Amino acid sequence: MSHHTFADASVTLDRHSEASKAPQPAPIARAPRVAIVHDWLVTYAGAERVLEQMIACFPQADVFSLVDFVEDRKFLHGKRATTSFIQRLPLARKKYRAYLPLMPIAIEQLDLSAYDLVISSSHAVAKGVLTGPDQVHISYVHSPIRYAWDLQHQYLEQSNLTRGLRSAMARAVLHYIRNWDTRTSNAVDHFVANSQFIARRIRKVYHRDSRVIFPPVDVQSFLVREDKEDFYLTASRMVPYKKIDLIVEAFSRMPGKRLVVIGDGPEMKAIRAKAGPNIEILGYQPFAALHDHMRRAKAFVFAAEEDFGIAPVEAQACGTPVIAYGKGGALETVRELGDAHPTGIFFREQSVPSIVAAVREFEGNAGRFSALDCRLNAERFSIATFRERFMAFVEQVMPGATSPIEDTPSASGTGGTSPVSTAGSVRVLALDQSGGLDEAEVSLLDVASHMKESVEVVLFDDGPFRLALEEAGVAVDVLDAPVLNGASERKRPPKARTLSGIASLVRETVKRARHVDVIYANTPRTMLVGALAGMVARRPVVWHLRQSVGADPLGRAQRLALKWCARVALDRAIADSAASKHAFEAFTKAPRLRIDVVDEEPRAVRGAEAAKSQAGSPRKRIESVSAILAQAAMRGAR
């Protein structure tokens, strides 16, 4: 059995899993109180992507962390973490790692006694929170504390702590951390590992079994390109363990092969010194540039030993094969030549000759690699897959924990009518401005996938959202709307051109609206177009509003247009929370407009057939939105 087949099988086989051995708690009669514990909140990296999806799975959860200094809070869904005393210590914002000796006692001071379910997202000490016998503690482990266990000597060497008094003190602290880490593992009810590699570490360090659930990768934000250009790519922060210097030195010995390097970091100067004329070092680049290079590169070169490794999956999502160091998480994300559908080549040593040999092997087998195979392999690690597997595991170890909350305010708008029976025959024209895949687009993707036999989606910009809709079998069309897409920028186009562009969009929308029962606008600017088209075509319009519209970076004229639409042109609105509803009511002062609250967050998918048919979509929310669209359509027909 190949390594990737074993990894896939381990996710689904329960017979030897920790969950099947543990006593199963009785189903709970109410929605559980959930706490999510993270080590520290200072940036948005791989562990924080997992945290983001955990919060999406349990939007009612409270978040705890040693410190919370993160500035861009979008991934936290607006939540503030309850922090430890380290938050208030001197220089904690920049020197929080220096308080490592205090972290065990700090994490133990977080009071979680009021919660039924505790989920820790741990690569350091988060799993050490104190829980009681009636609480279920699930620990998603990114890695046991690396610098305290198998990477201790590497850590001491890189920190210049190999000799002297400071070295002795550091070794004593790490010894204490190891003892504490082992002891606290006994208080975890269920371990989840982010790869088979980490599962083996957990077994080695804690003597516990774990379930493997791969972390989420936003593969939908990457587009496939089949025609590749004649250059190789590597992209990473330039720190020692990433081994970018080895890749650069290897390509310097192959002057006929071009390498592009994206990234910045403390090793930049040393890496530039090793670069030959065939190597282009671009430094830090925004996502658009990284995405463009990943799509065009003939292969992505990856030399680090990672616990999982997101970059190789992102490259494969672009249809780009990978040349990777054959150790760690890459063995589970890249399919080598022995596979029927290979997506990359492995080199077995972190050395220049090994990388050179792997590149030559890749070029000798270039015809074996398919962009489609790479993309399909990357899809195994999608956000939807993570949510589905994680929620299914939580439901297995704590029955009832993922059940929808039955007193959702949206229930008041359904009138007891079965959403499936009423929505099935309703023809919907859905409008969205974005080509990207933010939360609003993921929500619309779920609804459109559920109603794909009777929905048409019109986008005002092209991008990964269109590709995702097409892959889901949803009818989609893209209208060119550069004026509307740039409407919020500081340099706005002339008013005449803006009005002309909106008029053109309204005309095109009216043509499509005449063949549907209801218009469903998913963003503020598409709501304006949809409302005008609805008045001309005499079709009801439902707008899905999110967060506080008053805080949206819209111009004065657009805010006035929103108020006018709410008072005159909209038939119904859907809010993602009670706070959004109240904010919009205060903003528009439109008492005639009915606003239903539908929880925007995902729920568990139950059963193999449901998982297969809906791919992890939050069913209750989808059905609530479908029911509201059906009711609006019937009201419009009367």
For the cut 60, the answer to whether the pLDDT of residue 366 exceeds it is: yes
Q: What percent of the chain has pLDDT over 70?
A: 82
Q: How confident is the model over 106-159, as pLDDT tens digits?
A: 999 999 999 999 999 999 999 999 999 999 999 999 999 877 777 777 777 777
Token pair 């969205």 in the structure block, residue = 432
Tell me which CATH code domain 3-212 carries.
Answer: 3.40.50
Q: What distance in Å separates the CA atoms of residue 430 and residue 423, rounded to the nearest whole number?
A: 14
Kindly indicate the confidence band of residue 582, based on its pLDDT and cuts at 50, 70 and 90: confident
pLDDT on residue 499: 67
Is pLDDT larger for residue 236 or for residue 437?
236
Give, in order, the Cα–Cα distances in Å from 354 to each of 359, 425, 436. Answer: 9, 60, 39
DSSP for residue 227: S
pLDDT on residue 510: 87
Contact 467, 473 (CB under 8 A): no
Q: How confident is the model over 7-48, as pLDDT tens digits?
A: 444 444 443 444 445 555 555 556 789 999 999 999 988 899
Choice among 339-343, 560-564, 601-605, 616-620 with the minimum mean pLDDT: 601-605
Token pair 């003892």 in the structure block, residue = 179
Q: How confident is the model over 259-280, as pLDDT tens digits?
A: 999 999 999 999 999 999 999 9
**Beta bridge partners of residue 347, listed in sequence order:** 325
Cβ-Cβ contacts under 8 Å for 550 (sequence gap 6 or more): 559, 583, 584, 586, 587
Residue 249's CB is within 10 A of a number of other CB atoms, namely 19
Q: Quick one: CA dihedral 608, 611, 614, 615, positive or negative?
A: negative
Superfamily of domain 405-637: Glycogen Phosphorylase B; (3.40.50.2000)
**Beta bridge partners of residue 234, listed in sequence order:** 261
Q: What distance in Å separates the CA atoms of residue 54 and residue 602, rounded to the nearest whole number?
A: 10
Cβ-Cβ contacts under 8 Å for 104 (sequence gap 6 or more): 125, 128, 177, 180, 184
Is pLDDT larger for residue 409 or for residue 588?
588
Is pLDDT larger for residue 205 or for residue 623?
205
pLDDT on residue 8: 44
Strands annotated E in 413-540: 428-432, 455-459, 475-478, 518-521
Domain extents for the chain?
A: 3-212, 219-381, 405-637
Kindly indicate the confidence band of residue 534, based on its pLDDT and cuts at 50, 70 and 90: confident
Contact 417, 390 (CB under 8 A): no
**Nearest residue to 323 via CA among 315, 560, 499, 382:** 315
Q: Quick one: CA dihedral 546, 550, 555, 560, positive or negative?
A: positive
Give start and end residues of each alpha helix (H) in 263-382: 268-274, 287-296, 310-317, 330-333, 352-364, 371-378
Is pLDDT larger for residue 343 or for residue 160?
343
Q: Rounded mean pLDDT of the chain?
A: 82
For the cut 50, the answer to whether the pLDDT of residue 609 exceeds it is: no
pTM of structure = 0.61
Kindly indicate the confidence band of residue 405, based on its pLDDT and cuts at 50, 70 and 90: very low
**Nearest residue to 431 via CA among 477, 390, 365:** 477
For residue 551, count CB atoms less than 10 angstroms from its CB and return exposed for 0-12, middle for 13-18, buried for 19 or more. Answer: exposed
pLDDT on residue 404: 54
For the cut 60, the answer to whether the pLDDT of residue 606 exceeds it is: no
Do the first three CATH levels of 3-212 and 219-381 match, i.e. the same topology? yes
Tell me which CATH code domain 219-381 carries.
Answer: 3.40.50.2000
pLDDT on residue 481: 61
**Nearest residue to 302 via CA among 253, 272, 252, 263:** 263
For the cut 80, the answer to whether the pLDDT of residue 550 exceeds it is: no
Q: How confident is the model over 228-243, as pLDDT tens digits?
A: 999 999 999 898 889 9
For the cut 60, the answer to whether the pLDDT of residue 101 exceeds it is: yes
The residue type found at 288 is A
